[in-house]
Structure 1
Amino acid sequence: MDGVELKIVDKFKRLLCLDKIENWKSVPYGKEIHEARVEFNKAKKFKAKFKCLLALREIEDWNIHGTTELAEARIRFKKTDKCDMFSIKFNNGLMEISPLSIGDQTKTYLRNLIAYEQYCDRDNGFNYVSNYVRFMDDLINTPKDVELLHRSGIIQNYLGDDEVISTMVNKLCDNINFSTTKSIYARTSMDVNMHCRRHRNV
């Protein structure tokens, strides 16, 4: 071996406290390390980073579960007192959402606002209505989701049919491009997902 290889072997021995083993002429294989009774343990800092990477992988699409599933994960829903339509906050298992009245003209109203944002207001970069509708679309998947939000005072149902509302909300996002990572609710979605992954909340 040349001088460089010898330095590598010596460094390896020092790192593993194996300076007394003189018969190793190269970097040892797994079998040799096992015979020398060397134990390896995962470093805590790498373990923490690994968990963090797993969490990021699971939330890479930034989507959240429907209202019913979130309620099963001990998330409570409450109508916020603010008049701001786009107010959605999540803290310590409580999601506060501004009330939304849904009637005959709601679908047309929201679609027009989304169209304006998509085609006329691109330079602004803050697609509040599109982000809001996308978030509500995640929350509402079934009539049961609508019913739970209605009982919480968040949805005021003037159509009388929970299934009609769930279908309407789900279709509002059809053929619309979203950047979920740039959503104004991206942080909220991440916090909700992290809450749901805690073992005591599953």
Structure 2
Amino acid sequence: MPGLAPPVADERTALLAFLAQQRQGLRVTAHGLTDEQARTPASASELSIAGLIKHAARCERGWTDLVLGRDGALVPAEDEPDGSEFVLGPDETLAGVLARYEEAARATDAVIAGIADLGRAVPVPPGMAWIPAEVAAWSVRWVLLHLIEETARHGGHADIIRESLDGATLYPLLAAAENWPDPWFQPWRPPVDRA
């Protein structure tokens, strides 16, 4: 059924399928937008659809780096110390941010495919203010569940922003982006320019 994660046979497949579904929900909020629309905040915050996708890509890379034990995992990039990871820079494009997100997703999926035990410990980096001091490690499973949670949260933010921009909502956008046969929703169409 379009718009839902496919049936799954095991835990790993389920976690990756639901993460893929949430990624697609976030990506599709950008369907049919120009760079300018994608960088436009639609509320009191400076969040934009492109900024949320940019952030999701960085987070996914950071969590994958943590699973692999790479130095600097989850540390803000030196060129984005103030939260600008949520803002599309003047030289960035929506297509570029979407490509980085796809690259991060492929990397995560490949890393997870190579880990035999989802219960394997993932040591917590020291000194992170947002991590409870008593937590020494998560599991790979926990990291995947957190990525699903984080992606779903930002997908919800992006849904609201998109609806504020042009009235488009998730299922009509999915029907248009994925070319659903016999859709239950009228596929989204770009608004007719009345100028």
What TM-score bracket applies, with the shorter chain setting the length?
A: under 0.3
Task: Tell me which protein shows more strand as a share of its residues.
Answer: 1
Query: When the two structures are superposed, what TM-score results if normalisation uses the length of structure 2?
Result: 0.24
Identify which of structures 1 and 2 has the higher relative contact order when contacts are C-alpha pairs closer than 8 Å and 6+ apart: 2
- Which structure has the larger Rg? 1
